[in-house]
Structure 1
Amino acid sequence: MEEESVETRGQSEVEKVMSEVHLGCPPGFSGPHISYFTFSIPQPGPGLIEPRSSNDVSQVEEATTSISTQQNISFDEDGDLILPRRKTKLSNQSYSVTIQHSITSTLPSVGLQVWRAELVLSDFLLHKMFTSSELDGVVSLELGAGTGLVGILLARVAKTVFITDQGNEILDNCAKNVELNPELISPGTTVYVRELDWMNPWPPRLTIEESSLGKTKRYSWTFSEIEIAHEASLLVAADVIYSDDLTDAFFSTLERLMSLGSEKVLFLALEKRYNFSLHDLDVVANGYLHFRSYLQSGGDCEGLKCGPMPCFVGKCIDITEIPQYLKEYVRGSDVEIWEIKYSKRKF
């Protein structure tokens, strides 16, 4: 019996993974942890816009009462992160985002962690918010949301935000993070946490009887929500490219979403992950190469004319031109952001 216990524990340890964002945090703790990510709104100037509304100022002031950094990290008796409070209030142009997450997880539950591509995508979207009004009032859909950080930030300017992932544990954590950040959600913005399993066809099947009788699970879609999602103009995803099977399922779902309703654009952030390949006798990023196989480059598909069949058109964004608004992470050089569109035209 003891040998079985040791073997089971060893298998469990092998399956555990840790995001680089959490390096320095003791991996032995279990259960949810709280971290605070801070970002500052740049002062209005050339290329920058004023805060979206007078509400932003009051929301910022409320948010800054709990600003923390990840320096001098310590833990309480329950293993929760204790981050030092600033003794003085920060500028009224700063926010704090409170995120509940795990420090380690099994591969099927990696959405419980904060990943670097998620933070880079947050920087990118924050930059759009601060330098233009193109995201104001949009309907957005986050795919593979994980902790929901990106969707929560979008709720500052969007009309409707769908935060989607798969599995109750991850979705419960998303819902908790929405609850932890009410000051970041603009008045009038609706945020839905919904299950979207890429292995199942889109749209989700929901009978009229189930909808009318309210026999739906907490994270199930309604007919009206599906209709709203079809009119989304903005799709976002971060760190969803790490398994070829999931990448295939992701693009299958993406094709359905982007071929229905209004024209959509996807901003996808990913981190290249390298492994030694016996086939190539070299260190390669096979998951990244599989992802790239789905895309035509913008140059090859001028005007989205991809030939007789629909296709995905991708353009890599130069993130060196994107300021780092979130301060508590190291960006690195292996993260990319792709702007992806879908051509429904046939020639």
Structure 2
Amino acid sequence: MEDSDSEIDEVMSEIHLGCPPGTKKPFLSRFTFSFDSHHLTVDKDGDLLIPRRNNNNNNFTFRSAHSFTVNIQHSITSTLPLVGLQVWKAQLVLSEFVLHKTCTSSDFHGIVCLELGAGTGLLGILLARVAKAVFLTDHGDQILDNCANNVHINSSLFNPQTVVNVRELNWMSEWPIEDSHSHCTIPDMYCWSSQDFDQVKNASFIFAADVIYNDDLTIALFSTLKRLMSFGCEKVLYLGLEKRYNFSLDDLNVVANGYACFRSYIKGEGLCKQEKGVFVGKRIDITQIPQYMKDYDRGEDVELWEIKYVF
């Protein structure tokens, strides 16, 4: 057979354990985020004060809620090229980090941001509650269509002034392309416009989760990040990953080779004061981030990173 094993074998996220096995139809899961008043700003009744931007200006008002639910359509299993149709653990942890920041600070309020490997769109849906513009990027019609559908069915959660764009971004290709439409082989709705590029120049934050699992893709990811983070204003990347272990014949041991490839790109803050063209990162202590979604186990192999590019 000409197809590789990675295109034939199916994988399943731990998040989908308990979903009906064997179904080939997209499955709709309800992800409910509940709030603990000990960690957040609450009103006199103990309800969470969630920031919402006013319709007519950039000031923020607050509304009360104990919880809210995001409805996500996803596959229960997929081949490796279509893992973006599933929800993965590091995406949930990074989503909780974003939710915590939006509820305890104004860091993400009114921002323009971009997500790489957005998959089902869960993280971008949370960002759309407070951001000015959100670009959700991924590769392949199936993944983009599913992401766009999830954006649509959760649009009632968004700030009314927030613009959410679903766009194709293939890390193996050059980006940005000045004349995007002449190179676009997918539906026009996922192609980049010149206005999109102007907005992304002003994006202050990039997000990515569960994109570290293949060395070739990791190399392509950091090539894309070099271009993106040299483009326009200074940008900060928040990245969530899960160490994945495999038996290595070279090492004769169980190792996390994908994680090692990732770490080869990252330097500590104190090690590159005079260097240019390097990624500088620090780990975020996820024990300080409340678990707003109770129905999953974070485990010990999920990490969050804050990364900058010195150029």
Q: Are 1:322 and 2:289 counterparts? A: yes
Match of 1:140 among 110, 113, 127: 113
Q: Distance in 2 between matches of 1:30 and 1:180?
A: 21
Q: Are 1:342 and 2:309 counterparts? A: yes
Q: Which residue of 2 aligns with 1:67?
A: none
Q: Deviations over 1:8-60 (max 9, x none)?
A: 9xx799511100111222331102010000112444877779421498877x7
Q: Distance in 2 between matches of 1:148 and 1:216?
A: 18
Structure 1 stretches of at least 4 aligned residues deviating more than 4 Å after TM superposition? 11-14, 44-49, 54-58
Q: Distance in 1 between matches of 2:223 and 2:100?
A: 30
Match of 1:39 among 27, 33, 38: 33
Q: Are 1:188 and 2:161 counterparts? A: yes
* AA matched with 2:201: H
TM-aligned CA distance change 1:245 to 1:210, over 3 Å:
closer
Residue 327 of structure 1 deviates from its aligned partner by 2.1
Residue 299 of structure 1 deviates from its aligned partner by 2.6
Residue 306 of structure 1 deviates from its aligned partner by 4.3
Q: What 5-or-longer segments of structure 1 have no aligned partner?
A: 1-6, 61-91
The alignment's C-alpha RMSD in Å is 2.6
Q: Do 1:121 and 1:269's aligned partners in 2 also have CA atoms closer than 8 Å?
A: yes
Q: Which residue of 2 aligns with 1:51?
A: 50
Q: Distance in 2 between matches of 1:226 and 1:137?
A: 18
Q: Which has the larger radius of gyration?
A: 1
SS of equivalent to 1:51 = strand
Q: Distance in 2 between matches of 1:54 and 1:275?
A: 46
Q: Which residue of 1 aligns with 2:13?
A: 19
Moved more, 216-225 or 115-124: 216-225
Q: Are 1:152 and 2:125 counterparts? A: yes
Q: Are 1:176 and 2:149 counterparts? A: yes
SS of equivalent to 1:118 = helix
Moved more, 319-328 or 284-293: 319-328
Q: Distance in 2 between matches of 1:111 and 1:216?
A: 18
Residue 195 of structure 1 deviates from its aligned partner by 0.4
* AA matched with 1:153: L
* AA matched with 1:218: M
* AA matched with 2:91: E
Q: Give the percent of matched residue pairs that are identical in Structure 1 and Structure 2.
A: 58
Q: Do 2:40 and 2:103's aligned partners in 1 also have CA atoms closer than 8 Å?
A: no
TM-aligned CA distance change 1:262 to 1:279, over 3 Å:
same
The number of equivalent residue pairs is 297
Structure with bigger strand share is 2
Q: Give runs of aligned pairs for residues 261-272 of structure 1, distance below 5 A.
A: 261-272=232-243
Moved more, 49-58 or 126-135: 49-58
* AA matched with 1:192: N
Q: Give runs of aligned pairs for residues 1-347 of structure 1, distance below 5 A.
A: 15-43=9-37, 50-53=49-52, 92-206=65-179, 217-301=188-272, 305-307=273-275, 309-344=276-311
Q: Do 1:240 and 1:270's aligned partners in 2 also have CA atoms closer than 8 Å?
A: yes
TM-aligned CA distance change 1:279 to 1:140, over 3 Å:
same
SS of equivalent to 1:340 = strand
TM-aligned CA distance change 1:57 to 1:42, over 3 Å:
farther
TM-aligned CA distance change 1:14 to 1:220, over 3 Å:
closer
SS of equivalent to 1:172 = helix
* AA matched with 2:127: L
Q: Distance in 2 between matches of 1:101 and 1:46?
A: 30
Q: What 5-or-longer segments of structure 2 have no aligned partner?
A: 43-47, 55-60
Q: Do 1:306 and 1:343's aligned partners in 2 also have CA atoms closer than 8 Å?
A: no
SS of equivalent to 2:51 = coil
* AA matched with 1:28: G
Q: Which residue of 2 aligns with 1:86?
A: none
Q: Distance in 2 between matches of 1:271 and 1:36?
A: 23
Q: Distance in 2 between matches of 1:16 and 1:329?
A: 22
Q: Distance in 2 between matches of 1:167 and 1:343?
A: 31
SS of equivalent to 1:299 = helix
* AA matched with 2:216: D
